[in-house]
Structure 1
Amino acid sequence: MNSRVFKNLGSFNTLEVFEKGTGALLPEAYKKFFNEWIIQKPVAVHYIPEVEKWKRNELTGKVKPVQDTPIPMVYAVESNNQLWGGEGIIQGFIKRSKYNRRVPHFWVPTLRRTVIYSEILDKYMSVVVTDRTINLINSNYGFDHYLLKTPACDLKSLLALRLKRRILKDLYDECPAFEKGSEKHKRVMLEYKKYLESYTREEVEWYGYTFPEACKKMEALLAEQKKLIPLKHIYRANLIEKLKMEENKKETDREDIQLSATTSWLHKMNPFGSKQET
């Protein structure tokens, strides 16, 4: 994941990464996100997938099997800080005329900087996007709807995944960006709360992390649980607790002695008390 270019995120072997090392300790919540991000098949962007398995040639009449192979794409590191809407860089060849040899060529999406608005976060953000991203935001009637409806395998960008995690957290916290009980707060919660049905709180906490980031998060949690306490603090706390118990015991004994003495004097001074028989 630290390489200069991400060529094939689907090359991860889940049986290996989740069976040894820190990966074996990761919760099911992260495995669910990992499956949505890496294993799940993304929507076709740069090609039209073939539905039929066989196709007849209209000229020759021959029937041939359809080879539905996705176009390999390259994802630049910079795309993780931008929103490309599932688009990538296509590497191929181009022939400018029938008399020239074909030459290598890269098709790069058209990038432009624009401002997007998150209604849940109540923030405007300046981000580099593609035309497809803008079309997807408009077709989903807002940036928040676009992120919450789109699975991780189609978002691809780490920026998009982190924003989605932040938005889901704010939804669980009932949109702290707005005054609780206000009209806008009620409207936003009513419009977006339905998306929480697909996630638990734990799944939201682990959503959007790369595998190395998830391992670091898990190691930090384990270190916090096994945090060593200096022995002097333990001995001091035990000593203070022991002194408190001894002080309480002395106070209880003192009260018992005073109560016993008071009862004895009252018994002697009571003229109506029963006399001991001689």
Structure 2
Amino acid sequence: MASCTPQGAKLLNGWKAAKIFDKGIGLELPQAYKKFWKEWKETKPTAVHYIHRDEKWERNELTGEVKPVQNIPIPIIYPAEHHEGIWGGEGVVKGFQKRDQYKRRVPHFWVPVLRRTVVYSEILDKYMAVVVTNRTLNLIHENYGLDHYLLKTLACDLKSELALQIKRRMLKALEKNCPAYAGTPELQAEVYNRYKNYLSAYSSEEIDWYGLSFSQACTKLRTLQSLSQANEPLKHKYRFKLIQKLKEAGIQEFEDLDNQKSKMSSSWLNKMNPFSKKET
């Protein structure tokens, strides 16, 4: 049941809550960042704290009763500290624990085992001290290295901003042909050929916007706008947007009017220019 708040009233009347890209500067963010955001925040992550079952129905062997399989994800808490490490999709599980047969259950938190270790990136040719979990180490070993693990894994499973920033640096290094090995061309070509297949899933613009948080993306967009439109009057910007929208709508009369105005302005300038050729 919706709450008795303005937002709840809108939902009851058929209004949808505004999303992050439906208002403010979120409207102006490029499609490349929206694609990353969908992969990071809206894609269903891999089951970590429960066993996902593909079948839809199950039969009780004793009674023969058929029941639907319930794949209900366990609610996970991801504290702010998980952005400073690579937890491999693990988080804090909140629940209750029965510690005594004759006493009431008590609240309990199951926290993943964290440890600081050193990992190596072959693409960046760099050792990094990071906080990881046992599952992260197992995934790194299963994928034969940190580079393969980060580049294969979707953003919804990596979750942490640190892991996404490292993955972004790897993609940028691959795009520039592994500059860490510029002094040894043979090794540079070997490392690049080993990981170049991962570039096929991204365009250059998508790599540029990959791994940024929403605040970082907004800051990047404001910086680009200030550099490209520092001295451009707003009336020219809004006029250009209006022309584009009318052209997309297929208004041919406006296109003819726009062409006629451009010809009139050019002829007026020619009359004012004493060095222009006069029409006879």
Q: Does the alignment pair 1:21 with 2:24?
A: yes
Q: How far is 1:91 from its partner?
A: 0.3
Alpha-carbon distance, 1:67 to partner: 2.1
**1:65 equivalenced with 2:72 (yes/no):** no
Deviations 1:187-234 (A, max 9, x none): 1011011111111110000001122221221112111112249xxxxx
Describe the SS at the equivalent of 1:16: coil
The structure that has the greater radius of gyration is 1
Q: CA deviation at 1:181?
A: 5.4
Secondary structure in structure 2 of the residue aligned to 1:17: coil
Deviation at 1:180? 5.4
Q: CA RMSD in A?
A: 1.7
| Structure-1 residue corresponding to 2:37 | 34
1:161 equivalent to 2:153? Answer no
How many residues align? The count is 217
* Cα offsets for 1:234-254 (capped at 9, x unmatched): xxxxxxxxxxxxxxxxxxxxx
The DSSP-based 3-state class of the residue aligned with 1:35 is helix
Higher relative contact order (CA 8 A, sep 6+): 1
Closer, same or farther in 2 for the Cα pair 1:61/1:97, shift >3 Å?
farther
Q: Which residue of 1 aligns with 2:92?
A: 89
Q: Percent identity?
A: 58
1:99 alignment partner, SS class: coil
What is the rounded CA distance, in whole Å, between the counterparts of 2:121 and 2:88 in structure 1? 16
Amino acid at match of 1:131: N
Corresponding residue of 2:221: 218
Q: Which residue of 2 aligns with 1:149?
A: 152
1:246-261 superposed matches below 5 A: none
The one-letter code matched in structure 2 to 1:92 is G
Name the residue aligned to 2:13.
none
Would the alpha carbon gap of residues 191 and 198 (structure 1) be closer, same or farther in structure 2, given more than 3 Å must change? same
1:104 equivalent in alignment to 2:107: yes
1:209 to 188, 209, 212: 212
State the TM-score, normalizing by the size of structure 2.
0.74
- Once the two structures are superposed, residues 3-50 of structure 1 have per-residue CA deviations (whole angstroms, 9 ceiling, x without a partner) of xxxxxxxxxx99622222111111111111011111111100011012
Report the alpha carbon displacement of residue 103 of structure 1 after superposing the two structures with TM.
0.6
Matched, 1:44 2:47: yes
**Could you tell me which residue of structure 1 aligns to residue 3 of structure 2?**
none
One-letter amino acid of the structure 2 residue matched with residue 212 of structure 1: S
2:184 and 2:111 map into 1 onto residues whose CA distance is 47
